[in-house]
Structure 1
Amino acid sequence: LPGPTAFVPALVNSGLPNDRFHFEGFLPHKKGRQTRLIALAENPFTTVYYESPHRLVKSLKQFAEFFGEDRQASVSRELTKMYEETVRGTLVELHQHFEKKTVKGEIVLVIAGKQN
């Protein structure tokens, strides 16, 4: 799925609800990150994040802590390129998958909204 931005194909590939979604982009690295995660944990809409390869594992762990381990998500990398990959699962499953790998490329993380 080529396109001008990485988040559209990542959102479609995620398999998560995409009729209404929130684009967050990159989260703050330090100051304000925890406050932002607390606020985003209550968001009822699928949310799209950009993340760097060297912070992906740490971020997945933080998302699992703040959003809940069973929250559904997907990680897409290198979209529209030869080594395109999308991995789906819970935040804990994704953390376990990527902590065993060396991650390269552009990363788009899509996380399901909070269910009532």
Structure 2
Amino acid sequence: MVEVGKVLVVKRYLRQGASAECVMCEYGDVPGPRCQGHRYAVLPGGHVEAGESSASAALRELEEETTLTGTLDRLLWTGTHNGRPAYYFLVSDVYGVPELSGDEAVEHSARNSGSTRPTYSSI
């Protein structure tokens, strides 16, 4: 979700069995089974290419996967994910209209789709 240059992404949010367990139902406009928060989402990301910094890779992956551009604000967290180094950055001054692109768009299917446009303030 993009609003006023900010990006909000729910990382790996899995479907909950009951609306009472779903944070998105609590704050969204469509509670219950039709709530898009019950779907799976991930942050844009990928591999760091040879000669590339993790910060540059983060901005490249954001644009490749979503068509959005932005400015790297700061490193939020570093650690490991699935046994590999992981870096999470805050990106500010985000511009564009988010659109699934790259390999993710090719792999997109009716079984793995859905979108929602909650307002930034509702979350």
Q: Which of these two proteins has the greater Rg computed from alpha carbons?
A: 2
Q: Which has the higher helix share?
A: 1
- TM-score (structure 2 length as normaliser): 0.26
Higher RCO (C-alpha 8 Å, min separation 6): 1
With the length of structure 1 as denominator, give the TM-score of the two structures.
0.27
